[in-house]
Structure 1
């Protein structure tokens, strides 16, 4: 049997007396897309931050299957090992692209920087690969020397996606990746993400309050309320036949088209 790519056990994060998340356990399998949904303040972003080693949990554990086949508790990694993991085997797509890009360097340099983190040094190869990836995220190759400050919000988000995926990470974290975009731009970005995730066989954990996004991208879903998981299961099952009253309320709040 395959080993889970990520194993989360009894994860808890407290801010003094306030609970960010508590008692969260799940496995993520290779090639699986998991959505974490809930209203603002439900604890989903805190959970994502703990899972992605951006925030130290109060209790519990997060273990990751390294490329050498050894599953390691993230708490035992050195800071250098954790940084290398974030720059190579993991990707993180922020809601605000400016948080995931270097705004004062060119689009090509943003993509090339990730390649350099995995040892690529040949300028011609860096530029050629960057140009290829700009094309894959529907940015004209002629914009390779333009800075992200000259791009629209949708283009910045697509550039951030290219920057994250160029090293072929096995796990990508996404925090409301379409939350700040216009509806028409959201559709293009979501369609792009769905295609790239399928083509590359990525494992993804996506945080969103938008159940339509969760249905489009994920196979499995976790529903959070007040820091706890109240329901989980296959995405279509959870959305078509919600069991918990809170999930039923979320589903009922989706505007009818």
Structure 2
């Protein structure tokens, strides 16, 4: 167990012209820790996630990542090729809409296998057997390995996207509303699956969600955002059971009243 964080975020801000995306966000993420970033639409949580995952360049502040050799790298001083390699190997990104994270016109097996090829695996038999193993881990039958994702249900597509992201053994996974748009029964199964995989693999994850039930189930720590600012942060159970910021109290009470 390391005594150093995996990710260090320092005074991160993002503006779109004069409009604030997020302002002065600072935190550390530890290996194996799941952080939920919650808030209503427009709170800045997706902007923050996109800056952390290098999909957006921040206006100011910094994000440093501890590489597998223990060295620290500033994500925005890396070359584009280095960042792309990191995203294919050490990181995963689970989109709300699985079509954004899958290649819809190639088979389920190829979607998983592409990630393996990105880290140098060239043995067809190994790639296919690993793909079968991962499909079974996300509850997709091996008889569907040659089917294209466009023939899958929304829940199956999301499970396939999770397999595609986790097959390379990433250390950090970004999730943007991973259960959004799915039926409640499908959400429950997916959350159960995600929680098991995150625990079994010892993944660190940053999960953006507006759903406090998702945050409670998946995360150990929570960050609450409003209008681009972090208004409260702490252990998930503490924040939800004893919210201190007026906005967090409002969020929690509105859930209780539903």
TM over 0.5: yes
Q: Please state if 1:79 is matched with 2:80.
A: yes
2:183: which partner in 1? Answer: 182
d(CA) in 2 for partners of 1:183 and 1:154? 11
2:26: which partner in 1? Answer: 25
Q: Please state if 1:11 is matched with 2:36.
A: no
1:190, CA displacement in angstroms?
0.2
SS in 2 for 1:60: strand
Q: CA RMSD in A?
A: 0.8
SS in 1 for 2:230: strand
Alignment of 1:21-60 (within 5 A): 21-60=22-61
Aligned residue-pair number = 257
1:245: which partner in 2? Answer: 246
TM-score, scaled relative to structure 2: 0.99
SS in 1 for 2:180: coil
1:63: which partner in 2? Answer: 64
Alignment of 1:103-182 (within 5 A): 103-182=104-183
SS in 1 for 2:23: strand
SS in 1 for 2:255: coil
Q: Deviations over 1:25-84 (max 9, x none)?
A: 000000000000000000000000000000000000000000111011101100000000
Q: Point out where structure 1 has 5 or more consecutive residues left out of the alignment.
A: none
Moved over 6 A (4+): none
Q: Deviations over 1:144-165 (max 9, x none)?
A: 0000000000000000000000
1:180, CA displacement in angstroms?
1.0
1:228, CA displacement in angstroms?
0.3
d(CA) in 2 for partners of 1:180 and 1:88? 28
1:94: which partner in 2? Answer: 95
d(CA) in 2 for partners of 1:32 and 1:146? 34
Q: Deviations over 1:1-39 (max 9, x none)?
A: 611100000000001110000010000000000000000
d(CA) in 2 for partners of 1:255 and 1:237? 16
Q: Please state if 1:191 is matched with 2:192.
A: yes
1:256, CA displacement in angstroms?
5.5
TM-score, scaled relative to structure 1: 0.99
d(CA) in 2 for partners of 1:146 and 1:253? 42
Q: Point out where structure 2 has 5 or more consecutive residues left out of the alignment.
A: none
d(CA) in 2 for partners of 1:21 and 1:235? 21
